[in-house]
Amino acid sequence: MPLLIVLSLMAMPFIEIWLMVLVGQQIGPAWTIVALFALSASGILVVRRAGMKAFREADAAMRTGQQPKQGVLDTVMLMVGGILLIIPGFLTGALGALMALPVTRPLLRWAFSGWAERRVKRMRERAEREFATIGVHVPGQAPGDGPPRAGSGKVIRGHIVDDGPADPAAR
């Protein structure tokens, strides 16, 4: 999977240039440049808006002591979408518009949350398998499992020394 990501990132500039040439042949070079500048300007506006929104939500959350009303995912999608719009190119512009438009964000949020849940589940299962292979008991791993039995682990003998309060100002 990482190799596929690296290869796609390496191919991205060539695809962008190819698309610019195709669009330039259809609408002319001047209008192609205007379109690229318009995409970049819209990206700057989206990033500014997302930044201000994130600042307002964080400020309100700190003042009230509560968590922000909306999830962080919307703001992150706006920021990434704006950055993709700023990068000159039609493919990155289309991806950025998908992430920045309010119509497509709920679908992307749904897809991302599903992907994240599957990823966490796989990571948990893998960690439990690895713990089981080295003989570490994971509570909740199987039904009826409880805490480890007394005497089932390594015991380190010692004693507790009380040096007084932990707070240096109280000494």
Residue 144 has what pLDDT?
44
Q: Tens-digit pLDDT profile for the chain (171 aa)?
A: 688 889 988 999 999 999 999 999 999 999 999 999 999 999 999 888 888 877 787 777 778 877 666 667 788 888 888 899 999 999 999 999 998 888 888 888 888 888 888 999 999 888 888 877 776 666 555 544 444 455 556 767 777 777 777 666 655
- Checking phi first, is residue 149 left (phi over 0); if not, alpha (psi -120 to 50) or beta? beta
Residue 139 has what pLDDT?
59
DSSP 103-163: TTHHHHHHHHHHHHHHHHHHHHHHHHHHHHHTT---TTSSTT--SPPTTSS----------
Query: pTM of the prediction?
Result: 0.64
Residue 171 has what pLDDT?
54
| Buried residues in 133-169 as b, exposed as e (16+ CB within 10 A) | eeeeeeeeeeeeeeeeeeeeeeeeeeeeeeeeeeeee
Question: Running DSSP on this structure, what letter comes out for residue 65?
Answer: T
How far apart are alpha carbons 28 and 88 in whole angstroms?
Answer: 17
Residue 44 has what pLDDT?
92
